[in-house]
Every structure is written in C-alpha cells, then in structure tokens.
C-alpha cells in the first residue's frame, strides 16, 4: 500500500512538473493554477483545494520563481491584505523618454516610487543598467510602508546615433513583483556625424571607375571639417564648401558635401576602404567606409576565404576559381600566401585549368595544416597570371586557431527523488 502511494504521488508530482515546464514556454498559454487537477480517492481527477494550491504555488516559487510575474507592470498597485503583510513597489512610470539629445554629455533620468505595501520594502542591491551607458542609483535600499523614493541615473550617449533603448532592472522583496524592468528611451543626434555611415558602390568596371558622395553634418557652427583622408589610393576625396541647412524640425545644421572618385585602374578586387574625417575639435574624429568590388579581366570566386575554428595541425582543404571576364585566355603562373605580421605560410596551392570551360577558368586547390600556435589567421592569397592588365589577383583570408576541446566524461544520471523526495507532494 505504501509503495503504491509513493509511486502514485511521484507520478502526480512529475505530471505537475511537466505542466509547469510547458506553462513557462512563451508560445503556450499557461493554465491557471486553480485549473490544475489532482487524483481523488476514487482515482478521478479533481481540482486542488485552496490549501493544496497554496502549497503547490509555494513549492513552484522555491524552484525558481513564479512565471506569472514575468513582464509585471511597475506602475500597477495591488490590494493590500492586512492578514499577510507584504512590501509593494509602485513606480510613477515604467518608461522615461529623454527625447532628442546630443552625444556631447550625459543626460539624467529619474524613476519615482512609493512602498504601497504594509511591510518594509527592501531593494536587493542597487538597480542595474542593461549596458555601461546607463548607470542607475538609489540613496538607500529600505523603505517603510508609505515611504517614497527615487532611482536616479545618468545616460551616456557617446558614440551613439539614432533611436536608443536601454533597461534598468530592479529587484525587491515585493512577492508579486520581485523583478521589474524600467525603460529609458531617446533619439541621439550626434554633434558631428557622417551621412551615410557606409557607402556601397557595388561592382565597378576597372576602365570606367565610379563616383559617389556623402555629407558631413555638424550641429555646431564652430565645429568645422578640417580634413578628409581616404586610406587607399583607389579612392580620391574632394570637399565642397560648407552650407547652412535648416532641417524639418527647424534646427540649423552645417553640411559639408564630399565627392568620391573610385579609380578602378589603381587596383582590382574587393573595396573596403576607410575614410578618416577630422574636425576643428581634436576629440571629434569620425569615419565612413566605401565598399564594393572593382572588376578587371579576371574575377576571383569566392572573393575571400574563411577558415573558422581550426585546431592546431588540422588539415586545410579548400579551393577557389579564377575566371576570364572578357573571354580572353590567360594562364596562372604562381600562387602564394602572404600572411600578416610575418607569420610562416601554412598553405600549399595547385592551379589547374578547367579544360573546356567557357569562359576560360582555373581552379586553385588549397591544402596544408593549421599552424601549431593558437591565434588569428589573416593575410592574402596572391595569384600571378600572364594577363597584362591583371598580373596579380588577390584574395583575403581570415580565421583562427584554437585548442581542441577535451571530451568530458558523461555524468551518471541523477535521481531527483533521491535529493528531494518530498518535492511537490501534496497531502
């Protein structure tokens, strides 16, 4: 009889645990605790009594919290039960709007609250921000019933642009809302910025080149553009006169247009060139990036080689293809690896013509073994050809070498009932 009862209670408890696990999945609507059934004396399923329900709820919370409090409203006030004293943190708002701000200084925010409960409200440590840009603070951590306080903080918009959203997490001894999320929102408009941040010119014919442009925008007349410097000889920049522009919101800004010329004859291959922009304020240096690909007589596919997650000595097997873009025949004379920082080459190459291909192409097979030293892999693969216009075709490679993970012995299965034999047992 006792064994039957123990087995029966174990099955019921496992069923409740399974039901709880399903209820915690956000894609499934959780059942109300009062709807949880229990077997009666005749073996039929019956609803829990209030006493049984209270015990189950307490055991659920002791196992990791009450999922019903997820996403709780910080401004909602619950009725106070004189028979069960409890703290209750009620905030005046759940969201603080900073509005449109610059990036030249920290902005303060504040969330006021009152302990609407009938027990001392205790904050379990200082509130925390979702990033280092948001720093909240409380003067003290305990508040008596009816006492008010506030969480004050500062938001640092440095190096940010556009709509921003950070969170402040608050943990207290409020039994119904032990963890709350407060939100700080803003739109950051930098004092000195470039528009657009990235430029994509797509595929560029070497014999034609390409033209594009961008604007440098200053919200202060005294901060002026002093220098625009491309980091590649394939890109030339020309600054135009600065003009004052009144935006839709009525704000006057100072715009400096910049025209860019991509010289295709200066080199074919991937474009990923940085353009440094300096201002009259030495602390305000910004940049933009020009991306694209300059096409010559020969194309490389893929245009870069990824070697992720290699272990020391691991075999490397890969390939890439060189193809005639204009139908003119060519030969691959040599392929070699040029690694950064003078690291020893670890790849070997074999180039073979794809007989009968139209247009003509060559396949380069890559073999070798990853270096023994752990770290980043970065460099170029250079293919030398007999084409007068494209004597060298370059393809970037990148990756890393890390130690192989040691297999861990499988842990013996644990019997949860051996650790907590009374878990979720209801009498």
Mean pLDDT, rounded, for 369-390: 93
Mean pLDDT, rounded, for 32-47: 45
Q: Are residues 129 and 160 in the same domain?
A: yes
DSSP letter at 401? Answer: E
Mean pLDDT, rounded, for 406-426: 58
In a domain, 73, yes or no: no
Mean pLDDT, rounded, for 70-86: 88
Q: What is the pLDDT of residues 307-338, one digit of tens each?
A: 988 999 999 999 999 999 988 999 999 999 99
DSSP-assigned states of every residue in 63-82: TT--GGGTT--TTPPPPP-T
pLDDT at 33: 40
Q: Are residues 205 and 271 in the same domain?
A: yes
In a domain, 80, yes or no: no
**Domain endpoint, select from 280, 295, 310:** 295
Long-range CB contacts (< 8 A, 24+ apart) of 63-67?
A: 63/423, 65/178, 67/23, 67/24, 67/30
Total structural domains in the chain?
A: 4
In a domain, 259, yes or no: yes
- Where in the sequence is the domain holding 30, given as residue range(s)? 2-68
What is the Cα–Cα distance from 269 to 274, expressed in whole angstroms? Answer: 16
Mean pLDDT, rounded, for 8-31: 41
Q: Are residues 216 and 290 in the same domain?
A: yes
Q: Are residues 243 and 181 in the same domain?
A: no
* Lowest mean per-residue pLDDT among 119-128, 135-144, 224-233, 408-417: 408-417
Check whether 20 has a pLDDT greater than 50: no
Q: Are residues 315 and 367 in the same domain?
A: yes
Q: Are residues 397 and 304 in the same domain?
A: yes
- CATH value at residue 119: 2.60.40.10
Q: Are residues 241 and 326 in the same domain?
A: no
pLDDT at 15: 44
Q: Are residues 52 and 134 in the same domain?
A: no
Mean pLDDT, rounded, for 207-216: 94
In a domain, 110, yes or no: yes
Q: Would you say 343 and 371 are in contact if contact means Cβ atoms under 8 Å apart?
A: yes
**Domain endpoint, select from 12, 33, 68:** 68
Q: What is the pLDDT of residues 258-287, one digit of tens each?
A: 999 999 888 888 888 999 999 999 989 999
Q: What are the residues whose beta carbons fall under 8 Å from the beta carbon of 235, sequence distance 6 or more? A: 260, 261, 262, 263, 271, 273, 275, 290
Mean pLDDT, rounded, for 387-407: 86
- Reduce the DSSP state of residue 165 to 3 states and report it: strand
In a domain, 237, yes or no: yes
In a domain, 179, yes or no: yes
Q: Are residues 196 and 175 in the same domain?
A: no
* More confident call, 299 vs 37: 299
Q: What is the overall mean pLDDT for the chain? A: 83
CA atoms within 13 A on the CB side of 130: 12
Distance of CA 233 to the CA centre of its chain: 34
Q: What is the pLDDT of residues 158-177, one digit of tens each?
A: 888 889 999 999 999 999 99
What is the Cα–Cα distance from 297 to 202, expressed in whole angstroms? Answer: 17
Q: Are residues 291 and 304 in the same domain?
A: no
Q: Are residues 159 and 202 in the same domain?
A: no
Q: Would you say 285 and 226 are in contact if contact means Cβ atoms under 8 Å apart?
A: no
Q: Are residues 351 and 318 in the same domain?
A: yes
Mean pLDDT, rounded, for 354-382: 94
**Domain endpoint, select from 295, 319, 334:** 295
What is the Cα–Cα distance from 29 to 23, expressed in whole angstroms? Answer: 7
What is the Cα–Cα distance from 372 to 364, expressed in whole angstroms? Answer: 24
pLDDT at 26: 39
In a domain, 272, yes or no: yes
What is the Cα–Cα distance from 288 to 292, expressed in whole angstroms? Answer: 14
Band of the pLDDT at 54, cuts 50, 70, 90?
low
Check whether 136 has a pLDDT greater than 80: yes
DSSP-assigned states of every residue in 170-202: EEBS-SS-SEEEEEEEEEE--SEEEESSEEEEE
| pLDDT above 90 coverage of the chain, percent | 59
In a domain, 427, yes or no: no
Check whether 84 has a pLDDT greater than 70: yes
| pLDDT above 70 coverage of the chain, percent | 78
pLDDT at 53: 55
What is the Cα–Cα distance from 111 to 113, expressed in whole angstroms? Answer: 7
Burial class (CB in 10 A: 0-12, 13-18, 19+), 350: exposed
């Amino acid at each position: 009889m006792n064994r039957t009862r123990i087995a029966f209670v174990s099955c019921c408890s496992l069923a409740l645990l399974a039901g709880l696990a399903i209820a915690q999945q956000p894609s499934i609507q959780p059942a109300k605790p009062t709807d949880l059934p229990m077997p009666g004396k005749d073996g039929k399923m019956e609803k829990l009594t209030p006493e049984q329900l209270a015990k189950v709820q307490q055991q659920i919370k002791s196992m990791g919290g009450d999922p019903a409090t997820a996403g709780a409203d910080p401004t909602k006030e619950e009725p106070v039960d004189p028979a069960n004293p409890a703290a209750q943190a009620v905030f005046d708002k759940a969201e603080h709007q900073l509005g449109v701000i610059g990036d030249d200084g920290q902005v303060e925010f504040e969330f006021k609250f009152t302990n609407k409960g009938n027990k001392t409200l205790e904050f379990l440590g200082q509130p925390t921000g979702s990033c280092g840009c948001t720093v909240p603070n409380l003067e003290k951590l305990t508040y008596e019933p009816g006492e008010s306080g506030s969480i004050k903080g500062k938001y640092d918009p440095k190096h940010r642009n556009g709509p921003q959203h950070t969170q402040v997490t608050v943990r207290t001894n409020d039994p119904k809302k032990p963890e709350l999320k407060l939100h700080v929102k803003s739109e950051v408009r930098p004092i000195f910025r470039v528009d657009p941040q990235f430029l994509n010119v797509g595929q560029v014919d070497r014999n034609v080149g390409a033209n594009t442009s961008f604007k440098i925008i200053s919200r202060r007349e005294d901060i002026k553009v002093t220098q625009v410097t491309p980091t590649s000889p394939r890109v030339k920049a020309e600054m135009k006169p600065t003009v004052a522009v009144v935006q839709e919101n009525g704000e006057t800004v100072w715009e400096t247009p910049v025209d860019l010329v991509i010289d295709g004859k200066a080199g074919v291959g991937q474009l990923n060139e940085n353009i440094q922009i300096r201002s009259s304020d030495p602390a305000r240096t910004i940049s933009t990036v020009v991306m694209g690909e300059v096409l010559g007589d020969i194309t490389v596919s893929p245009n870069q080689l990824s070697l992720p997650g290699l272990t020391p000595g691991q075999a490397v097997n890969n390939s890439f293809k060189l193809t005639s873009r204009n139908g003119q025949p060519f030969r691959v004379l040599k392929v070699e690896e040029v690694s950064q920082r003078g690291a020893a080459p670890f790849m070997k190459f074999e180039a073979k013509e794809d007989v009968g291909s139209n247009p003509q192409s060559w396949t380069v097979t890559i073999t070798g073994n990853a270096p023994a030293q752990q770290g980043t892999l970065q460099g170029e693969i250079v293919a030398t050809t007999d084409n007068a216009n494209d004597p060298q075709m370059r393809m970037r490679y990148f990756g890393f070498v890390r130690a192989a993970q040691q297999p861990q012995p499988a842990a013996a299965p644990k019997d949860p009932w051996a650790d907590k034999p009374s878990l979720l047992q209801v009498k």
